[in-house]
Structure 1
Amino acid sequence: MKYKKYAEKSCQKLNEFQNDFRKKYDTDNYENWFYNQSSETLRLYSENKEIYFKYIPVGTFSQKKNTWMWSWANENSVEPRKFQTLKVKEFGEKKNYENLTNEHFGGDNFTGWELTSIAFEIIGAIGTYRVISDDLEKYFLLTEEITKEEVEKIESELIECGVHGKLRKAFICQHLNSKQKTGFEEAFETYRGMELDEEDDFQAWCSECEKERIKTNGWNDESMEFAKISLVCEKCYFEIKETNE
């Protein structure tokens, strides 16, 4: 199927779905919005009511330059789940759809919704939303409604990184760094933007720590003393992981 036809079908599907979403959550009747990149939450609110959603950032469209940028290519964004939009890029590579594989390109007033429609079809969501600030349109896939208490819990578990700002926490041994390869052992296989179970954290240690862990029959006082685990943000974590790949 040619890209234009595929895009038209995706837009039609989203339009039908979005009408029900807007009615169910009454999203047109909130006066204000606020989104938090660190917690990837969107708040819609008026004087006497509010609603919260978890989101995946799809991309941005500049009204000044008439250009689109996919969120996975936006180095200024700290949103971990932006990497879920790489699923769209992978689909575009299979189908040879350049608009889904190029990081940024020229567009028009319909580009943002067109690409959000495609992301909606490939990734899935309960609805979509757009905010506009300083001539920049930002598009979201809304994945679930959450409570204010859940938002506060998410934000309370973030750490402040001096380089990357507020992000999810990760744990590494004292020997891991982004300048040299030391081996990279993980508690479980990870990837950028992945969802974690409530009891899980990103955890990694070097090859020497792995030898010590095996020698002492697992993590105990002796192996932990050798590792001297430290706290970093998840972006630091994946930069270190990439150094060791």
Structure 2
Amino acid sequence: MPEMQRLAPGLRQYALVTGNYWAFTLTDGALRMLVVLHFHQLGYSALQIAMLLLFYEIFGVVTNLVGGWLGARIGLNRTMNIGLGLQIAALALLAVPTAWLTVPLVMAAQALSGIAKDLNKMSAKSSVKLLVPDSAQGTLYRWVAALTGSKNALKGVGFFLGGVLLTVFGFRGAVLAMAGALLLVWICSLLLLMRDLGKAKYKPKFRDILSKSRAINILSAARLFLFGARDVWFVVALPVCLSASLGW
């Protein structure tokens, strides 16, 4: 019973963080599908659509690099809320009339969405460890598994959600509906999320983003190239290949 009492406040915060992350992930997957389908309908080629999404991946990588440092300086609650705010801004940016949806505008919106995605993801995953007492490591593993394991499933659901929203509301109506739903989540997060969550007493300097361990820095660099190669393949090369070979 005492352990459950210690977990109760953390459990409420975990539910808030998880709901925040789930709502964001759904809109993130839906937005990806909305952009692909809508601009395909407008007659864009596979390469043009792929280039629209490229900034999403590039700015996500940059955010991954500095996100932990930023979270330690200003707090994970703020990085999570900044991520939600940027996603709402990206959706609002895409809600302009179709004639204004130029390639630079869409790429800018995708850049904002890429930053938002990695801020939200980093904040959610990092905050879970801080919400569980050291004596409840088994609970920590279950909470982390539930949070991270749901990501790909929800992303897939988001893809289908994007297609449904485009069919029912059209592109502009769909992005406005998602912006409105995410705005409600953002307000709840601003009001209910712990204000000092993840904020370090020691303010790390920017150079502290690099580890003192050479092995960890090499591993991090290898991971950067690995995910960069994955993104270039799936975001650019694969759509262009399918379009050229199969006429998709």
Higher strand share: 1
Indicate the structure (1 or 2) with the bigger Cα radius of gyration: 1
Hey, which of these two has a bigger chunk of helix by percent? 2
Of structures 1 and 2, the one scoring higher in RCO (CA 8 A, sep 6+) is 2
- Taking structure 2 as the reference length, the TM-score comes to 0.27
